[in-house]
Amino acid sequence: MHWLALLLPPPSASPEPSAQLALAWWALQFTPRVACLEEAVVLEVQSSLRLFGGAPALHRSLQPRAEQAGIALHAAAWAPSSLGALALARSRPGLDEALQWPAEQAFAEQLDALPLATLSACLPHLPMLARLGLRRLGELRRLPRPALARRFGQGLLLALDRAYGELAEAHAWVEIPEQFQARLELPQRSDNAMALQHHAQHLLLQLCAWLAARHAGVLGLTLRWEHDAMRAREIASHGELRLQTAEISRDYRHLSRLLNEHLLRLQLPAPVGEISLHAEAILPLRELSAKLLAPGASEGGEPQESITQLLERLALRLGAEQLRCGQLREDHRPEQMQQWQAWPGPSCQAQARLAACPQPSWLLPEPLRLEVQRDQPLYQGPLQLLAGPQRVEGGWWQAAGQPAQRDYFLALSETAGALWIFHERLPAGRLDEQGWFLHGFFA
Amino acid sequence: MRYTVQKHSYREPYSTRHSAQASKHPHPSPMSSPAAFCAAEPTAGLASSANSPGLSASALHAQLWRASHLGSNPRPCVSSGFAALDAELPGGGWPTHGLSEILQNTAAHLEWRLLSPALQALLSEPAQQRPLLLINPPLMPNLPGLQASGLPPRLLVWIQASSPQQQLWATEQAIKANAAAAVLAWLPQARPEQIRRLQSHAQACSTPVFLLRPVGVQTQPSAAPLRLTLRAGRDWCLHLHILKRRGPCHEGELALLALPAGLQQVLTPRMLSQPWPLRPEISTTPSRPHHALARPAPAAALGIA
């Protein structure tokens, strides 16, 4: 038996009663045998040690996985019995040294050295035990058993035997609900969206733990809130916020950042009394293998977040239209050769043939009319025509706009470098639209 | 042997990175005497690391250089594709873990000619198809032209931010995320303290970050460890002057032959060899027509006077 006991920070730091349940759900990703024991969560991982690459690897992965799920682990310890693991975890807060098992020391010797208060069954009798001169579990265990049972009852002996692994333990295993439902009544009414953020993050934590237990991720979330009765008549009784992600995720940090961005721009019409979180499109999450080689000094830092997550956040803050990805199109007019659309674009991109003639690397959104002097175009000084003309005629099949009839020239300017200018060829009646235009820069 | 250690007098906005700050002395670099040694890390980092026995001598020496010699960059660098430029850059290429500031005339657009060899190498790494982020470009990037430079269109993301705050925010997030192949940001209005903030984030960024700014800001101090000015020449060369680097002052200008992509096929050897202009300047005053019939008749001949 390989029991792990996980402890959350003391209740003063995290007042949420649901935190223990979230931790238990999160721990279900390691093993189905998870139980809530007093203030801790204990899990029996003997049968899944091989899956996680052995006990040391599993112990090492606890902290990073908990961080990713947004769970602050206060202490963790392992022992052959759940009560023993809990006692060890209580005595040694912290994650690093508590999981290091000193090989030369037997489990019973370790437990003997612990103070009495680490075993909850001792707590009611602590003053009496102290008057007897007992401070450690080992001293209590050395007392004659019949006398101990008469003096303090069977419960203490049973707990002591279970902690030392001499008696079997029985647990009520935590089961994962089929549907995720989490609601929270706010301690005080609030009409500030940022005040919702703190509470919504607790729900999000539960959701991520639930998803971890199901090995799944979400594509969307809905945060719903109920307004209280003290609202204006025309305001609806509830509202909701929908949140979409580009890829399946259960990364707590990413989801909470997205939620924050949404809440930043939310205006609540009335005070909110209750919030609830619903997951949409729960899909299995395929986890990628970790890298074989650790990132060396030459490789530099690992990405802090994936590029998709970064662009999602940027699109949320700047506006969806401000992030663009482009696609080549087969056309002869330079302004039609490419199409920029909101990120993310279509997943499969059509292959387009390259234009035969050189193309500029910058394009003006609208062609700029150039001054003309003695039939020579000017742009920050006289222009020298180097190559051309390249005649482009097209667009007659499109109803909107007028067909383009242009002669493109490569021109050289002393200050601006190589330019892509064209001369509009139109029927003689439309003189105002004729002339030289600057359309792009060869940079 | 005398060590001069630069005092950093600026106010650092982040308290967590005290040991990782690069030297941010105002431009130009104070290179007083050639015998002096300059430290790439400021006082706090150098003093603490020199006292700690864990730091090896080689790691310390990587952060020191003789003022008359070019500094070596312990971080990996990205070759610029121009041998003459690589020879002048500390570490032999565009730096990672720091900003590179490129200043050019607002009317000129020369960035792709200078950067496309390096960006092409960064984007062609098959293992990680990470995109290139273009933050606040001045014009619309033209994908056919960029594809001719070797930058595939599906790896380009154009991020347009309206206000200077949003431009800076987007740049900072992109640098912090460290997830793109490279970041190109056009920040014409950034102030020195904002550049310093970006630089302090860029020290943890393993990809090159290029800031493209107008040449007018070269009088402002900047925290970027590499600054250079760029202008187009009358020939097809880019004329480049390094304003600031970890090394001696850069004398003169580098002329890098860099044709815009695709122009090799249309330019004749004569156009390539001859400097601009190919023909004499067009005079702005109208010249007198030479043909006798086109000449206005003298007044006397018409019998007016």
**Dist CA B208 CA B226 (whole Å):** 11
What residues contact A97, with CB distance under 8 A and at least 6 apart? none
User: Three-state SS across A44-62?
Assistant: ECHHHCCCCCCHHHHHHHH
Please count the residue pairs, one from chain A and one from chain B, whose beta carbons lie less than 8 angstroms apart.
194
Once rounded to an integer, what is the mean pLDDT over residues A377-406?
A: 79
Q: Which residue has the higher pLDDT, B61 or A416?
A: A416
Q: pLDDT at residue A212 above 70?
A: yes
Pairing label, strands B209-214, B99-104 = parallel
**Dist CA B265 CA B268 (whole Å):** 8
A417 contacts B144? CB cut-off 8 A: no
What is the reported pLDDT for B23?
42
Instruction: Give contacts of A296 with chain B, Cβ < 8 Å.
Output: none
**Dist CA B24 CA B221 (whole Å):** 9
CA B254 to the chain's CA centroid: 13
Strand extents, DSSP E, A172-295 = 182-190, 216-227, 238-249, 272-284
Q: For this complex, say whether ipTM is above 0.95.
A: no
Q: Which residue has the higher pLDDT, A383 or B159?
A: B159
How is residue A175 written in tokens? Answer: 């089961």
What residues contact A371, with CB distance under 8 A and at least 6 apart? A377, A378, A379
* Nearest residue, CB atoms, B142 vs list A323, A386, A440: A440
**Dist CA A248 CA B47 (whole Å):** 47
Nearest to B161 by CA among B151, B153, B173, B152: B173
**DSSP per position, B12-59:** PS-STTGGGPPP-PPSSP----TT-EEESS-HHHHHHHHHSTTS-HHH
**Dist CA A149 CA B240 (whole Å):** 90
Q: B212 - beta bridge partners?
A: B102, B186
- B283 and chain A: CB distance < 8 Å anywhere? no
CB B57 within 8 A of CB B33: no
Q: List C-alpha distances in Å: A149 to A160, A240, A417, A420, B123.
A: 11, 59, 97, 98, 75
What is the reported pLDDT for A291?
59
CB A331 within 8 A of CB A337: yes
Pairing label, strands B132-135, B182-186 = parallel
Cα angle A212, A216, A222; round to 5: 95
Which residues 54-83 of chain B have a CB within 8 Å of chain A? 75-76
B179 contacts A324? CB cut-off 8 A: no
Q: pLDDT at residue A302 above 70?
A: no
**Dist CA A198 CA B115 (whole Å):** 45
Angstroms from A353 CA to nearest CA on chain B: 10
Once rounded to an integer, what is the mean pLDDT over residues A190-215?
A: 83
Q: Which residue has the higher pLDDT, A102 or B116?
A: B116
Residue A333: Cβ-neighbour burial (10 angstroms; 0-12, 13-18, 19+): middle
For A188, other C-beta atoms within 10 Å of its C-beta total: 7
- A334 and chain B: CB distance < 8 Å anywhere? yes
The helix (H) or strand (E) run that includes residue B119 is helix B111-123
Burial code (b: 16+ CB inside 10 Å, e: under 16) for B70-85 equals bbbbbeebbbbbbeeb
Q: A186 - beta bridge partners?
A: none
* Nearest residue, CB atoms, B146 vs list A358, A361, A364: A361
Q: pLDDT at residue A277 above 80?
A: yes
**DSSP per position, A96-118:** TTTT---TTS-HHHHHHTSBGGG
**Dist CA B198 CA B175 (whole Å):** 8
Q: In chain B, which residue's Cα lies nearest the Cα of A301?
A: B206
CB A406 within 8 A of CB A394: no
The helix (H) or strand (E) run that includes residue A198 is helix A193-214
Nearest to A439 by CA among A390, A368, A383, A359: A368
Nearest to A215 by CA among A123, A279, A283, A307: A283
What residues contact A129, with CB distance under 8 A and at least 6 apart? A116, A122, A140
Which residues 148-167 of chain A have a CB within 8 Å of chain B? none
Instruction: Give contacts of B176 with chain A, Cβ < 8 Å.
Output: 304
Residue B248: Cβ-neighbour burial (10 angstroms; 0-12, 13-18, 19+): middle
Q: List C-alpha distances in Å: A330 to A156, A244, A327, A357, B139.
A: 83, 33, 10, 13, 22
How is residue B52 written in tokens? Answer: 């700690």
Map residue A238 onto helix, strand or coil: strand
What is the reported pLDDT for A433?
66
Q: pLDDT at residue A406 above 60?
A: yes
- List, edge to edge, every strand of the sheet that includes A40-44: A34-37, A40-44, A3-7, A75-79
Q: pLDDT at residue A132 above 60?
A: yes
Instruction: Give contacts of B105 with chain A, Cβ < 8 Å.
Output: 415
Q: In chain B, which residue's Cα lies nearest the Cα of A324?
A: B158
For A146, other C-beta atoms within 10 Å of its C-beta total: 9
B143 contacts A338? CB cut-off 8 A: yes
Nearest to B68 by CA among B92, B37, B100, B91: B37
Name the residue type at position B304: I
Once rounded to an integer, what is the mean pLDDT over residues A79-103?
A: 75
What residues contact B36, with CB distance under 8 A and at least 6 apart? B2, B4, B67
For A32, other C-beta atoms within 10 Å of its C-beta total: 15
pLDDT category, A308, cuts 50, 70, 90?
confident
Angstroms from A219 CA to nearest CA on chain B: 21
Q: Which residue positions in chain B have pLDDT lower than 70?
A: 1-59, 61-62, 126-128, 274-305
**Dist CA B117 CA B129 (whole Å):** 17
* Nearest residue, CB atoms, B144 vs list A310, A337, A387: A337
What is the reported pLDDT for A298?
42
CB B81 within 8 A of CB B121: yes
Name the residue type at position A312: E
What is the reported pLDDT for B243?
92
How is residue A144 written in tokens? Answer: 């004659």
Helices H / strands E in chain B, number of each: 9, 13
Between the two ends of chain A, the Cα-to-Cα distance in Å is 68
Q: Which of A59-63, A347-351, A414-418, B150-154 has the highest mean pLDDT?
A: B150-154
What is the Cβ-side half-sphere exposure of residue B38, based on CA atoms within 13 angstroms? Answer: 24
What is the reported pLDDT for B18?
41
Angstroms from B192 CA to nearest CA on chain A: 24
Which residues 366-385 of chain A have a CB within 8 Å of chain B? 373-374, 376, 380, 382, 384
Instruction: Give contacts of A440 with chain B, Cβ < 8 Å.
Output: 142, 145
